[in-house]
Amino acid sequence: MDATAASITLADVGKVYPDGTVAVDGFSLEVRAGELAVLIGASGSGKSTILRMINRLIEPSRGTITIDGRDILEQDPVRLRRQIGYVIQNVGLFPHQTVRANVGTVARLLGWDRKRINTRADELLELVGLDPARYGKRYPHELSGGQRQRVGVARALAADPLVLLMDEPFSAVDPIVRARLQEEFLRLQATVRKTIVLVTHDIDEAVRMGDRIAVLAEGGRLLQYATPAELLSRPASPEVRDFVGADRGIRRLAVTPVRDVMSAHDGPADGLPSVDVAATLHEVLAVMLTENAGTVLVTENGRPVGQVTRTAVFETPVPEESAV
């Protein structure tokens, strides 16, 4: 297969554990190739169960899961898992193996020769921002939490999987490291473009990372599956609205491109502060506040292409939420 990413489809998937717990009851979702889908929801809503059904660490009780159109239940689970990267909270690095050996685990299982494994491991360490010469020979206990997490990501990418499953990958590190890892990971994703399903408890992480966010309630009930901007501006129900939280207005600014809100520029541009057309409303607001301006010019390659007023920042798009 030449593709670097694959679509994932879950159709009416259910899981009943042997003790009778209905963890997931008829869950359907489509993740497009190269997209990062976030699963978020209350504790016990079935997020991890869904994730682990995709790599068959848990066998579904019903329904169909396909990767690139191929039913995963018709594939050998061990081979399937080698094509799917899996990153978990505490990474699960092998403590008695060096960083380089940890990253090379899957490649070794695939029978690659030592030279190719080491070259690949070093490439991946560089990709996640760890100098191979400095860190390759260390053991996991000789790394910080954030560095271990990066090794976990490098290991998950080692066999160039089509799909990456991440279960709270950044939650074990402190908030500052977490924000940096998220940012680095997004840059990495812009290069590798894997299809990713990420489970989190953190709505800010979901909004920052997700191309689409699935909000789940108990039993894997899908409340909404939408882009961050859509979720924040148009929560599908009071349940989603509560979940997304009271400060969603601020979050919405961070995901709404200025392009969606700007109007035609009229009048002289002299003296107006400006933002690039790729900016978000959050950046526009920051400029308005620091420059004490009511209008900001929007430029593309340095030329004015529109303007945004303070009213537009706060009024557009008008969310249907006057009921609260």
Ligand X SMILES: Nc1ncnc2c1ncn2[C@@H]1O[C@H](COP(=O)(O)OP(=O)(O)OP(=O)(O)O)[C@@H](O)[C@H]1O
Question: Quick one: 115 exposed, middle or buried, by C-beta within 10 A (0-12, 13-18, 19+)?
Answer: exposed
Under a CB-based contact definition with an 8 Å cutoff, are residues 261 and 312 in contact?
yes
Say whether residue 90 binds ligand X (CB under 6 A).
no
Contacts of 126 (CB under 8 A, 6+ apart): 132
Residue 7 near ligand X by CB under 6 A:
no
Smallest separation (angstroms) from ligand X to the CB of 154: 24
The stretches of the chain forming alpha helices (DSSP H) are: 47-54, 77-82, 99-103, 105-109, 114-127, 132-135, 145-157, 175-192, 203-209, 228-233, 238-244, 248-255, 281-291, 310-315
Chain residues 142-201 in contact with ligand X, contact rule CB under 6 A: 201
Q: What is the dihedral of CA 228, 231, 234, 235, to 10 degrees?
A: -160
Q: How far apart are CA 194 and CA 319, in angstroms?
A: 32
Nearer residue to ligand X within complex by CB, 137 or 201: 201
Tell whether residue 21 is a contact of ligand X (CB under 6 A).
yes
- Rounded Cα gap, residues 37 and 210, in angstroms: 6
The count of residues interacting with ligand X (CB under 6 A) is: 13
74 backbone φψ class: left, alpha, beta (φ>0; ψ -120 to 50): alpha
Asked if 311 is part of the footprint of ligand X (rule: CB under 6 A), the reply reads no
User: Is-contact 288 312, C-beta < 8 A?
Assistant: no
Only one of the segments 38-46, 71-79, 204-212, 244-252 lies at the binding site for ligand X (rule: CB under 6 A); that segment is: 38-46
d(CA 259, CA 84): 36
Residue 48 interacts with ligand X (CB under 6 A): yes or no: yes
Complex with ligand X: residue 45 or 55, whichever CB lies closer: 45
| From 2, 43, 69, 76, residue interacting with ligand X (rule: CB under 6 A) | 43
59 is a contact residue toward ligand X (CB under 6 A)? no
Backbone angles phi, psi at 144, to 5 degrees: -80, 170
Residue 14 in contact with ligand X, rule: CB under 6 A: no
Interface with ligand X includes 55 (CB under 6 A)? no
Stretch that binds ligand X, among 19-27, 84-92, 245-253, 284-292 (CB under 6 A): 19-27
Binding mask 198-227 toward ligand X (x if CB under 6 A, else -) reads ---x--------------------------
Q: Which is nearer to ligand X, 49 or 195 (CB)?
A: 49
Q: Which of 37, 38, 49, 256 binds ligand X (CB under 6 A)?
A: 49
Q: Does 45 bind ligand X (CB under 6 A)?
A: yes
The answer to whether residue 251 forms part of the interface with ligand X (CB under 6 A) is: no
23 binds ligand X (CB under 6 A): yes
Q: Minimum CB separation from ligand X for residue 33, in Å? A: 25
Contact 106, 164 (CB under 8 A): no
Which residues bind to ligand X, rule: CB under 6 A?
Answer: 17, 19, 21, 23, 41, 43-49, 201
